[in-house]
Structure 1
Amino acid sequence: MKPKFLRATLLVMTTACLSLTALAQKIKLKEGSLDVLKNETSINIEFTYDNMAVGKFDKEADYVNKKKTEYNAKEAGRGDRWEKAWIDDRKNRFEPNFIELFTKHAEMTDSKKAKYTLIFHTTFTEPGFNVYVTRKNASIDAEVLIVETANKSNVIAKLTLDNAPGRTFMGNDWDTGERISESYAKAGKSLGKYIK
């Protein structure tokens, strides 16, 4: 292969890969306007997980019960520990990762006293998997509401965030929580940039 052709081929392939990555996650403003946030330096951030679908399951409870039963069948108590970690990871890993990257890229601080609140409602979680020979990245979908902190029924804006990918570049993501944590980090970064 000639060097010029090889370079052109590599350039096209690299551009295609970057384009696919950029298109993988989508943020859309569905209602309202983000103009009220222009001069705000802080925002209150809250998370909800009600009616969340997980993987092939329409109800999170069905997914959790299946995994818990499978793990307990392999080793007594393992499923119970997994279930606890599944819930604890929200406060310990997912939410801090989101907040850290959102505030950095939106150039805002997280404050309970802020005039506006961002409610990040996860509607779907794909936990993904990594079993040595094959893997599937995690991802999340969410509905995002910007509301008045003093009157949360007053919705200023509604956005959707689809397919925030969760993957680690070294492939060292055997832990479900690690993969999903990366999805929240990516979602925080992208949403912060979008709002900025």
Structure 2
Amino acid sequence: MKKQLITILALLFVSLSFSQKMKVVSGNFDFIKDQKQINVEFVYDNVTVHKKKLSNDEYVKERTADLEEKGRGKGKAWAKKWIASRELIYAPKFLELMNRDLLEKKGISFEEDLPDAKYTLIVEAVWFYPGYNIGISRQPAKVSTLLKFVETANRDNVVLEITGKNAPGNRFGGTFSNEDRLGEGYAKTGKTLSKMIMKKAF
């Protein structure tokens, strides 16, 4: 019983250590409750990667070279997967968790490619830490973002801006894929933002 309690406390400590911090920089949530659809765009132009805060191009070049040394073609295959994961993993994970409560309970849909929506949520990647899993040791990914709600027809009008820092990313049971871990970080970001909207807009 004592060992079980220690294990539970340890897991709680870990989860708290890797909890995401979201902070409202400017604006408020008043505009959201009257909307039925909000356009979403994902931006990666200025993202930095790892503790060294490499630019995306620097990180891709370095990682590609490392993998090519381990096997010809491995680096190039990974580089394609790294970019494709934005559309195939990160965006869908974020949107799934955003819509889980907001669409079902409040009737608000967050989707890409909605040019007629009055407001657009810009999810800008700020920092990625891919984490690692070498079997005997694991480290969750971390995803930091800048979340900006703007008028779709006037992008200079930012109605709400939120920073999301260190969203933890890992799958139950672990995964050896950096991209899957980062995808879970996007899922956590969507979940946290959704809860914040549910609490503050309604």
TM-score higher than 0.5: yes
Give 3-state SS (helix, strand or coil) of 2:31's partner: helix
Choose 1 or 2 for highest CA Rg: 1
Which deviates further from its counterpart, 40-49 or 81-90?
40-49
RMSD: 2.0
For 1:195, the aligned partner's letter is I
Partner in structure 1 of residue 45 of structure 2: 50
Deviations 1:19-77 (A, max 9, x none): 66356211111111111112212210111012111002321211111100011111111
For 2:86, the aligned partner's letter is R
Give 3-state SS (helix, strand or coil) of 2:179's partner: helix
Q: CA, structure 1 residues 161+15, in 2 after alignment: closer, same or farther (shift >3 Å)?
A: same
Q: 2:56, 2:98 → 1: CA distance?
A: 26
Partner in structure 2 of residue 41 of structure 1: 36
Q: 1:76, 1:48 → 2: CA distance?
A: 31
Q: CA deviation at 1:165?
A: 0.5
How do 1:93-104 residues align onto structure 2 when only pairs under 5 Å count? 93-104=89-100
Gap runs ≥5 in structure 2: none
Give 3-state SS (helix, strand or coil) of 2:173's partner: coil
Which deviates further from its counterpart, 130-139 or 22-31?
22-31
For 2:15, the aligned partner's letter is T
1:124 aligns with 2:127: yes
CA contact (8 A) 1:69 1:79 kept: yes
Partner in structure 2 of residue 115 of structure 1: 118
Corresponding residue pairs, total: 189
Q: Which runs of 4+ in 1 moved over 3 A?
A: 12-20
CA contact (8 A) 1:57 1:63 kept: no
1:161 aligns with 2:157: no
Which deviates further from its counterpart, 57-66 or 185-194?
57-66
Q: CA, structure 1 residues 101+71, in 2 after alignment: closer, same or farther (shift >3 Å)?
A: same
Q: 1:148, 1:156 → 2: CA distance?
A: 7
Give 3-state SS (helix, strand or coil) of 1:38's partner: helix
TM-score by length of 2: 0.86
CA contact (8 A) 2:98 2:110 kept: no
Which deviates further from its counterpart, 56-65 or 88-97?
56-65
1:21 aligns with 2:23: no
For 2:110, the aligned partner's letter is D
CA contact (8 A) 2:120 2:149 kept: yes
CA contact (8 A) 1:45 1:120 kept: yes
TM-score by length of 1: 0.88
Partner in structure 1 of residue 141 of structure 2: 138
Question: Quick one: percent identity of the two aligned structures?
Answer: 35
